[in-house]
Amino acid sequence: MTSIERKNINYETSLTKRPISVGAEKMLGEVIPVLDHGFVYLVDYLGNDAEIATMARTSYGRGTRKISDDRNLIRYLVRHEHTSPMERDEFVFHAKMPIFVARQWIRHRTASVNEMSGRYSILDKEFYIPEPEVIAAQSKTNKQGRGEVLDHEQAVKVREILVADAMTNYNHYEYLLNDDGQGKPIDSERGMVARELARIDLTLNSYTQWYWKMDLHNLFHFLALRMDAHAQYEIRQYAGAISNIVKESVPVAWEAFVDYQLEAVKFSRLEKCALTEIAILAGFKMNPEELDKILEKVGMDNNFEKKETEEKFRNLGII
């Protein structure tokens, strides 16, 4: 644990008038380890599934019929990309990650971030060293991705180089600081280089940490991108840890996100035309009753959503 991390804090609990999430309450302060020295945990949150539905219903006005219960309403919102009610819920995370991961993460600019400063603090002697099974060659088809995993002997050599470089640079960092941790020089014969300058000699696998606040709409966007198989392995581990917290905190919204975004497939106009041509060539046609049975079988139980799906199949020429 480093200076920015919470330690020896006695959390007091009290009654609150604000809406709570049972799942989020359970996750508060529960540290999820990530990589070799990293972590994520939930610091605070605002709202729950019910509050998303409440925000959506303000749009209807007095006397307007509700679409359905909260679950169906939330699923409708996510399915049709009505995002503003999702902005009602917010999450604050404390995360510790390698600097190169942080630089990818920070590109999601729709957040409030408070990062540990190397200008004020002496950074810990901690570095991310990937396991051999994730050390891979450059992809031949993706300029920003990994290809085949290196054989064990080569991977071990890579780890040795990473450790040696990180240790050498950190030793130089300590030399430049010349700081005993109490603000006094270790060697009184030498000057103490400013922390804001000494830190520039550190490697990108050094760890940083921050508090990260983001609303649920933008958090879903972050997770959709960073849980994707094409995202870098290391940031996927953090996205997976955050997803476990979100899943517990807003289970209904999470279910809708998985169904309509994370595991959904979007077709372009040309792909849609190709599907229609395939159906025509195959002589494939079904009636609405057959489709209804199939939709029931896969778990679609909302009549409103069934009608929307039937219309999509009509547009494809399958019905």
Q: Which amino acid is at 66?
A: K
Q: What is the pTM of this model?
A: 0.87
* Region 24-41 average pLDDT: 97
Residue 6: the pLDDT is 47
76-130 pLDDT, tens per residue? Answer: 999 999 999 999 999 999 999 999 999 999 999 999 999 999 988 999 999 999 9
Instruction: Provide the strand spans (E) within the chain.
Output: 32-34, 38-46, 90-98, 112-115, 136-138, 146-149, 207-215
Distance, CA of 305 to CA of 284 (rounded, Å): 23
Among the ranges given (44-53, 57-66, 116-125), the one the predictor scored with the smallest mean pLDDT: 57-66
Give SS3 for 299: coil
Nearest CA-CA partner of 72 in 217, 252, 293, 220: 252
Is residue 188 scored above 90 in pLDDT? yes
Distance, CA of 82 to CA of 162 (rounded, Å): 46
Q: What percent of the chain has pLDDT above 70? A: 92
Residue 231: the pLDDT is 94
227-254 pLDDT, tens per residue? Answer: 999 999 999 999 999 999 999 999 999 9
Of residues 226, 236, 269, 314, which has the active-site annotation? 226
**Residue 226 is a catalytic residue:** yes
Distance, CA of 19 to CA of 1 (rounded, Å): 32
Nearest CA-CA partner of 93 in 121, 69, 107, 114: 114
Among the ranges given (42-46, 70-74, 217-221, 257-261), the one the predictor scored with the smallest mean pLDDT: 70-74
At residue 59 the predicted structure's pLDDT band, cuts being 50, 70 and 90, is low
Distance, CA of 173 to CA of 73 (rounded, Å): 55
Is residue 61 scored above 70 in pLDDT? no
- Work out the burial of residue 149: count CB atoms within 10 Å of its CB; fewer than 13 is exposed, 13-18 middle, 19 or more buried: middle
Give SS3 for 31: coil
Q: Residues 272, 316: contact at Cβ < 8 Å?
A: yes
Structure tokens at 44: 């605070």
